[in-house]
């Protein structure tokens, strides 16, 4: 066995973040902006977590979204801080359900309503290709699925892409549907 040198960190004071590197461009491989669950654990919340507590937790963790899991730790949806906003919570409150009783499962986007890109596909795409796809679909997030192994392999966030490209957060709007327009008119 080889003996390694050991150092102290008393004179090293800067904690580096991936966003500080200027090595990502729109022509970079998409794998650079992909949060691969083989290398980092997914940020998850239990479906029954209280919505207000989830917002506190995510704010404290500087996290803009988490995957929602059921009792068997299988992904059933995605929740963002936008979905946990006071305005969105108030839209779900009724005479029978108080804001303090709402759970993450009540506000999340279910897995059926999320878009996915295949891992096999993004291996050959650029960051620009992924960003264009997110914008075209009006989505801020997408999951990455491994079609060969039938697994949810990771997640890609437009906000993370903007951060890596040293841009302000991207404002990606969902494509309006009749229901979205109706909700806005009568909200």
Instruction: Express each pLDDT in 146-173 by its tens digit.
Output: 999 999 999 999 988 988 888 877 776 6
- Would residue 84 count as lying in a domain? yes
Please answer whether residues 80 and 104 qualify as being in contact, where contact means their C-beta atoms are separated by less than 8 angstroms: no
Angle at 63 between CA 117 and CA 78, to 5 degrees: 45
Categorize the per-residue pLDDT at 179 as very low, low, confident or very high, splitting at 50, 70 and 90. very low
Domain that holds residue 33: 24-174
- Let me know if residue 54 belongs to a domain: yes
DSSP string, 70-102: -TTS-EEEEEETTTTSHHHHHHH--SS--GGG-
Cα 136 to chain centroid, rounded? 18
Over residues 91-132, the pLDDT tens digits come to: 888 767 788 889 999 999 999 999 999 999 999 999 999 999
pTM for this model (two decimals):
0.79
Residues with Cβ within 8 Å of 180's Cβ and at least 6 positions away in sequence, in order, are: 174
Domain count, the chain: 1
- Tokens representing residue 126 in the block: 């650029």
pLDDT in tens, 41-86: 999 999 999 999 999 999 999 999 999 999 999 999 999 999 999 8
């Amino acid at each position: 066995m080889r003996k390694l040198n050991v150092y102290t960190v008393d004179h090293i004071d800067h904690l580096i973040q991936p966003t500080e590197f200027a090595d990502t461009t729109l022509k970079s491989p998409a794998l650079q902006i992909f949060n691969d669950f083989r290398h980092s654990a997914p940020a998850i919340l239990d479906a029954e977590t209280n919505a207000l507590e989830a917002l506190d937790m995510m704010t404290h963790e500087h996290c803009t979204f988490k995957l929602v899991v059921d009792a068997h730790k299988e992904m059933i949806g995605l929740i963002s801080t936008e979905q946990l906003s006071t305005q969105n919570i108030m839209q779900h409150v009724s005479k029978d359900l108080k804001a303090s009783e709402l759970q993450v499962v009540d506000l999340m986007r279910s897995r059926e309503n999320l878009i996915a890109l295949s891992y096999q596909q993004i291996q050959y795409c650029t960051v620009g290709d992924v960003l264009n796809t997110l914008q075209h679909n009006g989505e801020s997030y997408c999951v990455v699925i491994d079609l060969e192994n039938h697994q949810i392999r990771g997640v890609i966030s437009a906000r993370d892409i903007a951060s890596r490209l040293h841009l302000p957060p991207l404002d990606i709007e969902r494509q309006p549907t009749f229901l979205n327009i109706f909700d806005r008119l009568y909200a």
